[in-house]
Amino acid sequence: MEGSKILNTDIRYVIFRSFIIFTGTISLIFTVVHILLQRPLVNILTSLVSLGLCLFWFFFSGNRAKYTLSRISFLAVFSLVWLPLGYLTSPGSYSAMPYLVIMAAFMLTVIVKNPWEYVFPLSMVIQMPFLFRMEIWYAHLFERYTSEEYRINDLTMNFTVVILTVILTAMFLMRKYRDFNSLMYDLSIQDDLTGLYNKRYLMKALEQEKNRAERTGREFTLFFLDLDNFKKVNDNLGHMEGDRILQELSEILRNGIRNYDLAARYGGDEFILLFPGTLPEDGKVYMQRLEIELKEFCRKYSEFNLAVCWGMSHSRGKTPEEILSEADRNLYLCKAENRSSSR
């Protein structure tokens, strides 16, 4: 079960299985079409064999240990067996076979995982010029369509299949690419442990908020928080339990602010709350409300005398560095007061 979850996060694996289903479906359709149109037996058998192989690859690739073997055999069969056999048993370039070769080469290139595996799609590039020339050298090997209408129908059907395959695959890849970029962006701005914004994002947001305040006249308030005596938790309960406590505190901060406020982990047991468009007196009101939950949180660890201390600063007339510096100074005044009162 775990192996399947890992595979399903691999884009190539998902595309590979999709291609198998798609190819198997097309093989089934072609088998029926060949039978109805009374095409040569070799065409019917080729479609049936392709359908059987797709069923085999689909169930075989469901096992993580056998996925690589399934994928390599898929690459080998389509580049080294299907291409020459399919081309030599078709009307060649007079049919839609070149379209199908382009589609197959595209499919193989997308699911290639290791550099050496590019030999399979590249082998198709090497084979095709020889197969084109064989139509001149051995014309008797290629049975031309006797009906122009039949040829156009064949071209129409296969051209549609090829274009849809390329478009749908490209759409899928682009969607995954966007999801991956979004994930990478989220990881780059979030703190790994707490899920709050990290210091890098905080500094950028602080700069942007300061520029906005100067442009619009809407000041903001910033709070620098510290979990005092947190070292005792790590020393007595271990860092794993300390991490859990930091995560619990972060959840309180995240849920205790407005959706347009910002909560960030500055480092260690230090946090920042940024309240845009908020005057100092209003910021204090928000912080005092939040303090109710913070004190309840600290009571659960009363044996360590935990306390959430904070220092405030506002943006009026200060640079981002000065804002942080003032909040930091006020924080340490709070910590000093807390320690003197607990003696």
Q: Is 277 left (phi over 0), alpha (psi -120 to 50) or beta?
A: left
Q: Do β-strands 307-314 and 221-228 pair in parallel, antiparallel, or remain unpaired? A: antiparallel
β-sheet bridge partners, residue 265: 271
Q: Which residues contact 84 (CB under 8 A, 6 or more apart)?
A: 127, 131
CA distance 39 to 147: 13
Helices (H), 61-198: 64-76, 83-88, 97-111, 119-137, 148-189
Contact 208, 197 (CB under 8 A): no
Q: Do β-strands 221-228 and 262-267 pair in parallel, antiparallel, or remain unpaired? A: unpaired
The angle subtended at Cα 186 by Cα 230 and Cα 197, nearest 5°, is: 30
> Exposed, middle or buried, 159 (CB in 10 Å: 0-12/13-18/19+)?
middle
Contact 276, 310 (CB under 8 A): no
Q: On the CB side of 147, how many CA atoms lie within 13 Å of its CA? A: 8
So which residues are the catalytic ones? 269
CA distance 97 to 192: 52
Instruction: Compute the Cα dihedral for 118, 6, 22, 174 and give only its sign.
Output: negative
- For residue 93, CA distances in Å to 47, 139, 151, 208 come to 19, 12, 11, 61
